[in-house]
Amino acid sequence: MYVQQTATEYLPSVLRAFALSLAIAVIGMMVGVFVPPALFLPLVLLEFGMLLFAFFMRKRKAISYTFLYSFTFVSGITTYPIVSHYLATVGANVVLMALGTTTVVFTGLAIYATTTKRDLSFLGGLLIAALLALIAISIFNIFWPLSSTGMLAFSFIGVLVFSGYVLFDFNRMKHYGVSAEEVPLMALNLYLDFLNLFISLLRIFGILSSDD
């Protein structure tokens, strides 16, 4: 009973912090228009370093709101070149379709995960293994670029993995609760789920549109 009450009490706080994170990321993307291309690699490295910091802090189950919003701002800037590329190559309609699909899928999975009685914590190990595989393929792609078919398959796997993380994160909050200190960290998890799901869907729509 206490766990359920805790989850109910702080879940709205997580969702508010998540929504604000998305808004700050959008501001970061707008700022990205004015960032010199030479700065994007240092910003990507900074973003990666912040992610590593958050990963090691997860055992303490606490990061600050300042860290959360700083990260999402930097993340918005580094996402700008990706969105800009697809805006230029396949058009705004495809980008908006990917964003709309991401929102619908994310919301649907969140509702299911918070209403089902099933405990989906068993997904944790599978998702970590799949995520590590995606990271390895991403590194491989830098040196030996995938074909459009390979990238399409990679992106579909990405959709499955990050959809799984949406289910896992919302279900975990329902079954195990969220403390006040955990709110920024859980909001960061949801932000990363949403962002990576969006980028995966954007790649899929972009590849399918360019093949038409």
Query: Per-block average pLDDT, block size 10, for the chain (212 residues)?
Result: 52 94 96 92 90 77 88 96 93 94 97 91 89 89 87 94 95 86 93 96 92 60
Q: How many domains does the chain have?
A: 1
Identify whether the C-beta of residue 21 lies closer than 8 Å to the C-beta of residue 183.
Answer: no
Question: How high is the pLDDT of residue 101?
Answer: 97
Domain span at 90: 2-211
**Closest to 49 (Cα-Cα) out of 81, 78, 84:** 78
Question: How high is the pLDDT of residue 61?
Answer: 66
Question: How high is the pLDDT of residue 1?
Answer: 41
- What pTM, to 2 d.p., does this model score? 0.91
For residues 74 and 175, give the distance between their C-alpha atoms in angstroms, rounded to a whole number. Answer: 32
Q: What is the 3-state secondary structure (H, E, C) of the chain?
A: CHHHHHHHHHHHHHHHHHHHHHHHHHHHHHHHCCCCHHHHHHHHHHHHHHHHHHHHHCCCCCCCHHHHHHHHHHHHHHHHHHHHHHHHHCCHHHHHHHHHHHHHHHHHHHHHHHHCCCCCCCHHHHHHHHHHHHHHHHHHHHHCCCCHHHHHHHHHHHHHHHHHHHHHHHHHHHHHCCCHHHHHHHHHHHHHHHHHHHHHHHHHHHHHHHHC
